[in-house]
Chains A and B, each alone.
Chain A
Amino acid sequence: MSLPLTGGAGPSRTPSPRLTRLRRRLTPYIFVAPTLAGLALFLVYPLVSAVYFSFTRFNLIQAPEWVGLDNWRFLFEDDNVVRAAKNTLWLVVVMVPARMLGALLTALLLNQVRRARGVYRTLFYLPALAPPVAATLAFVLLLKPGTGPVNTALSALGVDDPPLWFNDPAWAKPSLVVLAMWGIGDLMMIFIAALLDVPAELHEAAALDGAGSWQRFRYVTLPSISPVLAFAAITGIIGTLQYFTQAAVAASVASGQVTGGGGISDTFGYPEGSTFTYPLWLYVVGFRYHVLGYANVLAVVLFVVSMTATVLLLRRFKEFTR
């Protein structure tokens, strides 16, 4: 049994060689056609319109009105954007390296452990599966200032003034980092896979040359896994620039005013704007205040920053990316 497409189904149905060739040439395009359409519709079109809308005044109801650089000028007078960008930058600088280091250390540990390795892997990975909203709720409860188990334990250990966590502006962002550390399982799995690929002969050769375990890690393991580290850094930074859910949920729940629609703008950023991230501000401007022209300025800036970070990192890692 063969398909008429390939010309084996009897003389009358054999297509001419030219038609066959044409078909063969077109097949790849048929395979990717939906994706190409999607790229046009969901990448090119929105990017171009985002840039266009950033030069307009627009509130979803009236037609967009061209205002030139007004929105862009406002960017430099907007205190909220400075505050939100600072919070986001803080998260990028602390959360991304913390997660990478945590995931690398747990991966190294599990690669040393033989017995029950699978059990540990599953246990460490499970939190990464928890829905972010659920995980955030669990941590707000866990870190409740007065009665949460963490502070109860700290008091029992003799800590006089345990932190107020999500309710203290100085501790709210570190609390988000603790939450992010809990979910390092996905990154850990990727690192485990990379570590398994490090050639054992290289380690043996280095050991014969008298390299200690730190030296072997530094000069054998680290260079071998650097492409994966680069991947983790890039996706980590991009992901943190988009950080939204946990910040929104933690703030609206910790503030105690759990309101409909997943949080109204007054509760975003609680306490004292300490968890107010850049994507939150973009969401509030666009979909709470309906100032869409300015929201698009914020969006275009976010895109440029993401792209720049990616390109710089790819260049930085080029020399030791295989």
Chain B
Amino acid sequence: MTRRNVLLFVARHAVAIALSVMFLAPVVFLGLTSFMTSDQTLTSQLWPTSWHPENYAEAFAKAPLLRYLVNTLLYATLATGFMLLASVPAAYGLAKLRWRGRSVTMVAIVCMMMLPPQVTTVPLYLFWADAGLTGSLWPLILPMLAGDAFSIFLLRQFLVTIPDEYLDAARVDGAGEWRTLWKVVLPMARPGIAAAAMFQFFYAWNDYYGPLLYTSENEQNWTVSLGLASFRSMHHVEWHLVSAATMLTMIPVVVLFFFAQKAFVQGVTLTGVKG
């Protein structure tokens, strides 16, 4: 390495390390706070003077965190499953089959992606109220049986890259479209499907507006986002408990990302976003 290259190497890593510290610091700080006493959270000390892992137990005792976690898991899992069930065939139809109305449908799906959820809030709320489902998470889960616009778009971009020759070969061998989809397309599209599933799962796990809208009156069906935002005591925010609960909310997402990151990154990279 020349001297100039050495300097560049050091400079780049110095900046990258400094940025890493900035990106990680809030989480580390939150983690430290979750082990402090209530009194210490009101001081400016960063390191716990004594460690209190029982904060986590207390957070569970103070609020029905377990129920919130189960509700959130149910919402995220069902929404993701339903979404895949409908979005994968739809994306296949849009990417690989020729039919009248295909381009109009694509435009409608892009419109749907652009549509702010607040716009359709009132009519849809009334629709679900008529169906007697407000107060539950079903108004957020059931629509996924029709697929999700963003996921369909993402999956379509992915499926377009699969060469037609593979599909034609399957068809020549006498496979119908369902069989082609199941045996040929699905295995090849795994990274794209993983990416779409994770986006959907993260979205539902983190969703605040949806559960706030439909379940805020019914604490039985609150999700962790809702529970966290309203973690309270009579007089002030109990930061040590809030931090513990916050850490608990983040752990499942981070674990999921850790195990699926390869498929996820590959899926995101391959689908790209280029029009």
Question: B225 at interface (Cβ–Cβ under 8 A)?
Answer: yes
Cβ of B29 and Cβ of A142 under 8 Å apart?
Answer: yes
Residues of A within 8 A of B120 (CB): 42-43, 46-47, 50, 299
Question: A307 at interface (Cβ–Cβ under 8 A)?
Answer: yes
Cβ of A310 and Cβ of B114 under 8 Å apart?
Answer: yes
Cβ of B225 and Cβ of A147 under 8 Å apart?
Answer: no
Q: How far is the CB of B117 from chain A (nearest CB, A)?
A: 7
Q: Beyond A43-B108, A227-B275, is A299–B16 a contact (Cβ under 8 Å)?
A: no
Residues of A within 8 A of B112 (CB): 39, 42-43
Cβ of A141 and Cβ of B243 under 8 Å apart?
Answer: yes
Cβ of B19 and Cβ of A106 under 8 Å apart?
Answer: yes
Residues of B within 8 A of A148 (CB): 44
Residues of A within 8 A of B232 (CB): 258-260
Residues of A within 8 A of B230 (CB): 258-263
- Complex interface residues of chain A between 157 and 197 (CB less than 8 A to chain B): 182, 185, 189-190, 193-194, 196-197
Q: Beyond A120-B16, A228-B273, is A37–B146 a contact (Cβ under 8 Å)?
A: yes
Cβ of A306 and Cβ of B114 under 8 Å apart?
Answer: yes
Q: Report the stretch among A28-36, A68-76, A204-212, A214-222 that lies at the interface.
A: A28-36
The CB with the most chain B CB atoms within 10 A, among A25, A38, A129, A231, is that of A38
Chain B minimum-CB-distance residue to A23: B176
Chain B minimum-CB-distance residue to A292: B122
Question: A89 at interface (Cβ–Cβ under 8 A)?
Answer: no
Cβ of A32 and Cβ of B90 under 8 Å apart?
Answer: yes
Among A24, A123, A253, A302, the residue within 8 A (CB) of B24 is A123
Q: How far is the CB of A293 from chain B (nearest CB, A)?
A: 9
- Bound-state CA distance A131–B204 (Å) is 10
Cβ of B208 and Cβ of A139 under 8 Å apart?
Answer: no
- Bound-state CA distance A194–B269 (Å) is 8
Q: Report the stretch among B54-62, B91-99, B161-169, B186-194 that lies at the interface.
A: B91-99
Interface band, chain A: 35 or more
Q: Beyond A42-B143, A283-B118, is A31–B92 a contact (Cβ under 8 Å)?
A: yes
Cβ of A244 and Cβ of B16 under 8 Å apart?
Answer: no
Chain B minimum-CB-distance residue to A124: B23
Q: How far is the CB of B234 from chain A (nearest CB, A)?
A: 10
Residues of B within 8 A of A113 (CB): 12-13, 16
Question: A303 at interface (Cβ–Cβ under 8 A)?
Answer: yes
Q: How far is the CB of B244 from chain A (nearest CB, A)?
A: 11
Chain A minimum-CB-distance residue to B82: A34
Residues of A within 8 A of B92 (CB): 31
Among A25, A122, A295, the residue within 8 A (CB) of B122 is A295
| Chain B residues within 8 Å of chain A by Cβ, number | 99
- Bound-state CA distance A151–B44 (Å) is 9
Among B29, B123, B212, B272, the residue within 8 A (CB) of A138 is B29
Question: B206 at interface (Cβ–Cβ under 8 A)?
Answer: yes
Chain A minimum-CB-distance residue to B147: A35
Question: B105 at interface (Cβ–Cβ under 8 A)?
Answer: yes
Cβ of A134 and Cβ of B246 under 8 Å apart?
Answer: yes
Residues of A within 8 A of B212 (CB): 261-262
Q: How far is the CB of A283 from chain B (nearest CB, A)?
A: 7
Question: A81 at interface (Cβ–Cβ under 8 A)?
Answer: no
Contact with B along A109-134 (1 / 0, CB 8 A): 11011011000111110110111111
- Bound-state CA distance A134–B227 (Å) is 11
Residues of B within 8 A of A321 (CB): 275
Chain B minimum-CB-distance residue to A225: B274
Question: A276 at interface (Cβ–Cβ under 8 A)?
Answer: no
- Bound-state CA distance A271–B232 (Å) is 20
Cβ of B261 and Cβ of A132 under 8 Å apart?
Answer: no
Residues of A within 8 A of B126 (CB): 49, 60
Residues of B within 8 A of A303 (CB): 115-116, 119
Cβ of B20 and Cβ of A28 under 8 Å apart?
Answer: no
Question: B132 at interface (Cβ–Cβ under 8 A)?
Answer: no
Question: B196 at interface (Cβ–Cβ under 8 A)?
Answer: no
Cβ of A127 and Cβ of B122 under 8 Å apart?
Answer: no
The CB with the most chain B CB atoms within 10 A, among A36, A42, A182, A197, is that of A42
Among A106, A259, A279, the residue within 8 A (CB) of B116 is A279
Q: How far is the CB of A306 from chain B (nearest CB, A)?
A: 6
Question: A270 at interface (Cβ–Cβ under 8 A)?
Answer: no
Question: A149 at interface (Cβ–Cβ under 8 A)?
Answer: yes
- Bound-state CA distance A295–B231 (Å) is 28
- Bound-state CA distance A38–B206 (Å) is 23
Cβ of B147 and Cβ of A126 under 8 Å apart?
Answer: no
Instruction: Supply 22 A–B pairs (Cβ within 8 Å), ascending by A.
Output: A6-B176, A27-B176, A27-B177, A30-B89, A34-B147, A38-B143, A39-B112, A47-B119, A109-B19, A126-B254, A131-B253, A134-B246, A137-B228, A149-B46, A227-B275, A231-B273, A259-B230, A260-B232, A282-B121, A283-B118, A303-B116, A306-B115
